[in-house]
A and B are shown apart, each in its own frame.
Chain A
């Protein structure tokens, strides 16, 4: 009973600021500009399917690169001294104290013409700008979301009982086998939550591509951002479609997670 009462503010908050807006978006998405029921917003939304798939592609790519970078880092982290672990965790967190936009600006400065990267590469005789392409967007996203991949994997890995590792060695596993048969399978829940925590926000992110990307690197988040003020119906429809995509993704990830727990 007590716990129910304590959760009341949260329920009220969810109701007022999440559920009601969601319902409103759901209603708006099925209306035309005159306020009549219509599927026109969805027809408009499908006009953006190219942007849609590009966004999902960029998000997927960023997630994969994050995973490739984060997994070994998290693994090495668990094998370090406690003091080094804390230091590196700190280094991972410090950029997050800074505003999101500032971090993106920093990348703009780094990658732009006559920026540090350009200057450095000029010494080797290579000139150019490194901004305004999909690669730059992916770099920005990876930078943005890497901690969200490292931390869950690290947390799960550091909780793996050293007794299990000793047991595996005792039963005849060499280093690679200990990793493959014990550490890796047991770290999968961390990988799954890391993927979720990176993919979901990066699929719907905006501004990054506006600053770092080219004209055709526009992402669905930017489209929603732009279009909502002029055509809230289409904006709502796109949001709903994006939500469905993300929901399907989460369900798939969860299936993965459950299977791992059972198998």
Chain B
């Protein structure tokens, strides 16, 4: 970080968590500094809440260390940690009124009564709930309950406040005003806030630093500007803000080929002729007359969005999203320009050319012209090809030979959808099975963090025999 070196207050080292055999956090490392507003951002099921609960002491990692202020605190129960949480559903005590809810932690600390009263009154004023002391919790609105929950955590004067999607249950308008209020409270109280959300806008608005997570790993950590302007991969680019993510080839330093055109960019060090992902934000594309365009396309649709027009422009088979203050007629051919600085180059999420399976034929049936092999404890049958039992094979499956839509159990039963990224033409879907990852193309939108069956279409596969068994021919 270029900021003034602040003290690290909590540090997660190589944290690994598994529930029922399912990996939730896969060796994550994270340092959080004093007085920082850090947001952990990711889709549901990415492990962000678990990360928070590890710091709170509600989940014990299977391996890895939680370091708090230089001390290892693994196994320390929640009530002994200098951390307080604002829970997702507030979890206010229904049998206590506003005052007693806020005073709950202070009473446990056995502070003198008048001191408790002073602190609670001051805290209620901070969260704008002066005069609500005697109110019952049930008689408060969602926003007010939210504030009580924040006051209850803050009044204990912890080193860190953990917030688990605290604004999720509020309506949009209230959420916006609470975002600003939370930021204000954080700056006023000078506490470390660790905030969990799946709302990218919330993360960008409030945070000093954003931690983007997916499928149990941290994809990127950086300031809101960094994660927005310089996403490290297609997942981050797709998750934060709107983006055109395209397949490209890095020809050489500062030369990129996308959509059949060679463009200048500013990124270096990707090597020569390397397949990469390219991000261009819709607001960075400038519409120009056809003859001046680096890229040329046809306007397909125009939607007025208030501040700008949102246009969908087709370049070949690919759809490009453009935000512009000037409108263009649908059906018109236009040119587009992007300055080199606004072309962001990223390594591919899964740098493979096809899905390769290396295996041994376990059963062969020349009569049916088919064979079987074992894959992750399941038997896969291939029809239309036959290789003798014991042959070593390398099977190349192109991206479009994989499918997750169909009836029944599939060739592989439960594969996890790790990410879905729209590449202007198809969705590129990364799947994770027990021992490896797969890349497939799909035209339908799939839900990330769900489990689906996976089928292979071997008619599109290429078979390569590595080693044939000694055949005894008489």
Contact of A164 with B93 in the complex, beta carbons under 8 Å: yes
Task: List which B115-156 residues lie within 8 A (CB) of chain A.
Answer: 136, 152-153, 156
11 contacts between A and B (CB under 8 A): A163-B89, A164-B94, A166-B85, A169-B57, A170-B79, A170-B153, A172-B108, A172-B109, A186-B95, A261-B95, A263-B95
Number of A-B residue pairs having CB atoms within 8 Å of each other in the complex: 62
B-side interface residues, number (CB < 8 Å)? 24
Given known pairs A166-B87, A170-B79, A172-B108, the reply for A182 and B93 (CB within 8 Å) is yes
- Cβ of B97 to closest chain A Cβ, rounded Å: 8
Given contacts A164-B91, A177-B79, could you give 14 more A-B pairs where the C-beta distance is less than 8 Å? A163-B89, A166-B85, A167-B85, A168-B93, A169-B57, A169-B79, A170-B56, A171-B79, A171-B84, A171-B153, A171-B156, A172-B105, A173-B108, A263-B95
Given known pairs A171-B104, A171-B105, A172-B156, the reply for A166 and B94 (CB within 8 Å) is no
Chain B residue with Cβ nearest A184: B95
A171 to B91 alpha-carbon distance, docked (Å): 12
Contact of A171 with B89 in the complex, beta carbons under 8 Å: no
Out of A166, A168, A261, name the residue touching B58 (CB < 8 Å): A166
Out of B78, B92, B94, B109, name the residue touching A170 (CB < 8 Å): B78
A interface, over-half SS: helix
A185 to B84 alpha-carbon distance, docked (Å): 23
- Cβ of B196 to closest chain A Cβ, rounded Å: 15
Contact of A167 with B77 in the complex, beta carbons under 8 Å: no
Contact of B91 with A166 in the complex, beta carbons under 8 Å: yes
A41 to B78 alpha-carbon distance, docked (Å): 66
Contact of A174 with B94 in the complex, beta carbons under 8 Å: no
Contact of B95 with A174 in the complex, beta carbons under 8 Å: no
Interface size of A as a range: 20 to 34
Out of B57, B93, B95, name the residue touching A167 (CB < 8 Å): B93
Chain A 122-166 interface 0/1 with B at a Cβ cutoff of 8 Å (1 = within): 000000000000000000000000000000000000000101101
Binding site for B on A (CB under 8 A): 161, 163-164, 166-174, 177, 181-182, 185-186, 260-263
Chain B residues near A260 (CB-CB < 8 A): 95
Binding site for A on B (CB under 8 A): 56-58, 77-79, 83-85, 87, 89, 91-95, 104-105, 108-109, 136, 152-153, 156
Chain A residues near B105 (CB-CB < 8 A): 171-172
Chain B residues near A169 (CB-CB < 8 A): 57-58, 77-79
Name, among A169, A172, A174, the residue most crowded by chain B CB atoms within 10 Å (CB to CB).
A172
Contact of A170 with B136 in the complex, beta carbons under 8 Å: no
A166 to B87 alpha-carbon distance, docked (Å): 9
Given known pairs A167-B85, A169-B78, A170-B56, the reply for A181 and B104 (CB within 8 Å) is yes
Contact of B109 with A163 in the complex, beta carbons under 8 Å: no
A164 to B87 alpha-carbon distance, docked (Å): 9
Contact of A170 with B95 in the complex, beta carbons under 8 Å: no
